[in-house]
Structure 1
Amino acid sequence: MSTTFSRHVEEDARLIILRELHVQSDGRLNDGVLCHVLESFGHNRSREWVRTQIHKMAELGAVATTEAGSVVVAQITRAGVDHVLRRSKIEGIKQPSLGV
């Protein structure tokens, strides 16, 4: 897979994760559930790959993370919400389309 295509896949997956966190009543999901969400959108990746995306999104300020035993829990931040709602742009996460 080319570097450009890999970056596109990662940015798309990060947007899917943010959108799913945004619709949760408490804005949180664990990495196992997010694996299943991504699979439903055609991203069949390992749990470790999903964790890498979550940690990258934490570096970007889009999510906060906590660990519960061997599970990583992601919670959307205000910056993440603003990105999903197109009020701001976070580089490294695909920009949502207008019909969010």
Structure 2
Amino acid sequence: MSADMETLIREQARLIILKALLQQIDETLNSDLLIHELRPFGIRKSREWVHEELGYLREMGALTTVAVGSVLVATLTEKGHRHLNREIAIEGIQRPSRPGG
């Protein structure tokens, strides 16, 4: 897989993760559940890979994580909300589509 394709997959996966968190009442999911959220989009990656993406999103301030055993529990932050609402753009995360688009 080319470097450009890998970058695109990572940016898209990060957006999917943020959207999945937003859909939860408490805006929280664990990394094993996030693996299943990515599969319908053709992104089949390991827990370690998902943990790397959660680490990136945490570093960018889009979510927080807590380690519980061997999984990470991720929670959406205000900055993550702002990215999903298109109020800001966080580098390395695909922009959400415009409403109605």
TM-score by length of 1: 0.96
Runs of 4+ in 1 over 4 A off after TM superposition: none
* Superposed displacement of residue 91, structure 1: 0.5
CA distance in 2, matches of 1:2, 1:23: 32
Please list, as runs of the form range in 1=range in 2, the aligned pairs for 1:1-100 lying within 5 A after superposition: 1-99=1-99
TM-score by length of 2: 0.95
Unaligned runs of 5+ in 1: none
CA RMSD of superposed structures (Å):
1.0
Instruction: Report sequence identity in percent.
Output: 43
Q: Which amino acid aligns with 1:83?
A: H
* Superposed displacement of residue 71, structure 1: 1.2
Unaligned runs of 5+ in 2: none
- SS of aligned partner of 1:75: strand
Give CA deviations for 1:10-45 in whole Å, capped at 9, x if unaligned. Answer: 000000000010111111000000000001211011
Q: Which amino acid aligns with 2:14?
A: R
Q: Which amino acid aligns with 1:23?
A: Q
